[in-house]
Structure 1
């Protein structure tokens, strides 16, 4: 019995030793990360020097403020990778030639890889806009979900995403309305995350806004119709008929302008059709086209009032 316990203990120790000695396949690129971060640190540490090309009068000496801290992100942008595996995405984000990166990558299995410090600027948004913010990369955290763009998002992946969002919201005090998708900030270029993404689930957890379900409530209205049939030169009136129709409880005002509403929410409406498609990808998730149905307008109007 003692020999068996000894063999088990030795096997466990051997396993731990092997695991601790397993080389990190990204050791080389991690060195590149540290080198670049160190260089930026030196830039921040350096005392500003007078610029001889400046024409306005400069102070007699440098005065460093004592009241400051790190600039913090104010948005979270959610993407899908449009690639076939987490490993492929990690390689993409550690290859300089690709010129793309993100702060976090979350695999289908729920494993989270933080690739960049929250305070550093990742290259994930590209040419994008939200409201008057035209440099989203400088004020946001990018999260990439391992997904080929056409498949549903795995439950472990969404569970981990919510965990990451909880941490980021608490750490950086990010407003609920500022958790958005790549297609929201780049409607003419991007369609991620795909239509299966559970935006409503995230909004229920406090990440992003969603419309009020009762905005689509309707009531049954009875209308009286009198059928008539022409007979020769006279008209024979048929009995009254009750026709039951459904009308919305909430109505969109006649003065409501959908494009203005999209702009107020944050969408870039220089291409209204693209903005409508991006809105429908996020909030409707079916029939993603440039046509707003009456139901779509009710949802848009309800959301628009939340953003006022």
Structure 2
């Protein structure tokens, strides 16, 4: 029987953390600083309170058979359960002009998009969705056997328009954040991927300028070895792409996504000998 100490926090305390405040003489004497996101923070808190209420419901399932007769049912609370935890991290670029624009995009209902974290160019990290909750960040796609990535992943958006290098401050903060997430949720090394890895038919991020090798050196994803060997004559590169996790229903899109992540020298859908060598090497790590 597995013990999960990190799940021992009361659910209401976890979801209601943002509502905690210090009250006393010092607080009363200090002028209140109004957050520009005070309204959206309140909406978030109200929604979190609604989720917390649902989690505390203890009622039997209301079931009827085909004749309309009620099926006997009662609630018996188990002592062996925990909160669902993230098992993947999806990395994005924002493709917008500033972190302020992205924060605005994620705090209006009309966009219906969000992320758990946003990292500004100076390295500031904005936490926008509790790690245990579902953010609207991955969208449609497929990775290995996963078809609903939003339900099992944490999304990290990095302030970048898609055509510029990532800043040192961003990568430093990202590595610290990834280390925390990996340790907190025991996320496997292979499960740190990009948005394009997940959705190669429609997404280009985090792009060929993202330092995947540096992340792999820290244990967040894999990278090819320095010395590469030739794959065997019967090497099936489509099967190798699928083994890593790529959706190969559009092989060209999968090739481009793989090359942007693991090779980063060109964006063509053709596999060169170097690409095949890298793919052969990387696929053996999965």
The counterpart of 1:47, out of the listed 45, 48, 58, is: 58
- How far, CA to CA, are the matches of 2:218 and 2:29 in structure 1? 40
The counterpart of 2:157, out of the listed 132, 144, 148, is: 144
- Map of 2:101 onto structure 1: 88
How far 1:282 moved relative to its partner? Answer: 0.3
How far 1:281 moved relative to its partner? Answer: 0.6
- Map of 2:257 onto structure 1: 278
- Map of 2:14 onto structure 1: none
C-alpha contact 1:50 1:58 (8 A) present in aligned 2? no
1:114-160 deviations in Å (ceiling 9; x for gaps) = 00100000000000111010000000000000001110000001000
Is it true that 1:299 corresponds to 2:261 in the alignment? no
- Map of 2:110 onto structure 1: 97
Q: How many residues align?
A: 258
- How far, CA to CA, are the matches of 2:235 and 2:111 in structure 1? 44
- Map of 1:264 onto structure 2: 243
- How far, CA to CA, are the matches of 1:267 and 1:125 in structure 2? 15
- How far, CA to CA, are the matches of 1:198 and 1:35 in structure 2? 38
The counterpart of 2:47, out of the listed 29, 33, 36, is: 36
- How far, CA to CA, are the matches of 2:116 and 2:264 in structure 1? 26
C-alpha contact 2:60 2:73 (8 A) present in aligned 1? no
C-alpha contact 1:106 1:157 (8 A) present in aligned 2? yes
C-alpha contact 1:82 1:148 (8 A) present in aligned 2? yes
- Structure with higher strand content: 1
- How far, CA to CA, are the matches of 1:40 and 1:53 in structure 2? 26
Structure 1: gaps spanning 5 or more residues: 1-15, 216-249
Question: Are residues 133 and 20 of structure 1, via their aligned partners in 2, closer, same or farther at CA, if it must alter by over 3 Å?
Answer: farther
SS at match of 1:158: helix
C-alpha contact 2:117 2:128 (8 A) present in aligned 1? yes
- Map of 1:254 onto structure 2: 233
How far 1:20 moved relative to its partner? Answer: 5.8
1:199-242 deviations in Å (ceiling 9; x for gaps) = 00000011110011111xxxxxxxxxxxxxxxxxxxxxxxxxxx
The counterpart of 2:187, out of the listed 165, 171, 174, is: 174
- How far, CA to CA, are the matches of 2:253 and 2:52 in structure 1? 40
When structure 1 is superposed on structure 2, of 297-306 and 55-64 the one drifting more is 55-64
- How far, CA to CA, are the matches of 2:120 and 2:216 in structure 1? 21
Q: Provide the TM-score with structure 2 as the length reference.
A: 0.87
- How far, CA to CA, are the matches of 1:20 and 1:120 in structure 2? 33
How far 1:181 moved relative to its partner? Answer: 0.2
C-alpha contact 2:63 2:73 (8 A) present in aligned 1? no
C-alpha contact 2:63 2:70 (8 A) present in aligned 1? no
Structure 2: gaps spanning 5 or more residues: 1-26
SS at match of 1:22: coil
C-alpha contact 2:61 2:73 (8 A) present in aligned 1? no
How far 1:54 moved relative to its partner? Answer: 4.9
- Asked which structure has the greater CA Rg, the reply is 1
Question: Are residues 262 and 19 of structure 1, via their aligned partners in 2, closer, same or farther at CA, if it must alter by over 3 Å?
Answer: farther
- Map of 1:245 onto structure 2: none
Correspondence list, 1:48-87, <5 A: 48-55=59-66, 58-87=71-100
Q: CA RMSD in A?
A: 1.8
Question: Are residues 182 and 19 of structure 1, via their aligned partners in 2, closer, same or farther at CA, if it must alter by over 3 Å?
Answer: farther
Q: Provide the TM-score with structure 1 as the length reference.
A: 0.81
